Amino acid sequence: MVCLVSRTGRQLQRYNNMGGRQVVGCIPYRFKNGSNGDMGNELEVLLISSQKGQKLMFPKGGWELDESVEDAASRESFEEAGVRGIVECQLGQWSFISKRYGTYYEGHMFPLFVKEQLDLWPEKNVRQRIWMTVVEAREVCQHWWMKEALDKLVQRLMSPLQQKEDADRDLVLW
């Protein structure tokens, strides 16, 4: 059975040694299916609307004392975007000022290779989700640090593809 309620409260919230709230997020991604139904090579990422408006961002939220950073990333993606998948190696850590509270936060971002998109999830009634290309996502994402994380994800994912293409070309040349 799946719990369809988001965690609330800050009693288990983690803070860094400077007093900054620690938050964790994911960039849910997939490769668009080709015309033959096989997985293609066109990268899509999933953004969600904020609870209080139409601003778009990647799922993120508080990292709590009773969970690993990867578990927190997975939980936030489930609660806010209704997706499950494989949490991959961390993209990085950013320090930013919360617009709402005017304090420093520490943000950790991870790629999440989406394996399942749910019809029901805890924040379905307060958020919209939309799949888009990287170029579109970069234009609409509201947070500079999330855009940097997206750039790192693209570099990471395209690097092996570029290496394979280079190797294939080298084989042809020889």
Q: What is the pLDDT of residue 67?
A: 95
Q: Is the pLDDT of residue 78 over 90?
A: yes
Per-residue pLDDT at 56 exceeds 60? yes
User: What CATH number labels 21-173?
Assistant: 3.90.79.10
pTM, rounded to two decimals: 0.83
* Single-letter amino acid, residue 77: S
pLDDT of residue 147: 97
Of the candidates 85, 82, 95, the one whose C-alpha atom is nearest the C-alpha of residue 122 is: 82
Q: How far is CA 52 from CA 6, 48, 142, in A?
A: 16, 12, 13
Q: Is the dihedral of CA 146, 152, 155, 158 positive or negative?
A: negative
Distance from the Cα of residue 87 to its chain's centroid: 9
Model pLDDT for residues 155-171, shown as the tens digit of each residue: 999 886 555 554 554 44
Instruction: Report residue 80's pLDDT band, with 50, 70 and 90 as the boundaries.
Output: very high
Q: What is the pLDDT confidence band of residue 12, given thresholds at 50, 70 and 90? A: confident
Tens digits of residue pLDDT in 97-130: 877 767 889 999 999 999 999 999 999 999 999 9
pLDDT tens readout for residues 21-43 = 999 999 999 998 766 666 677 89
Q: Is 133 helix (H, G, I), strand (E, B) or coil?
A: strand
Assess contact for 58 and 141: CB atoms under 8 A. yes
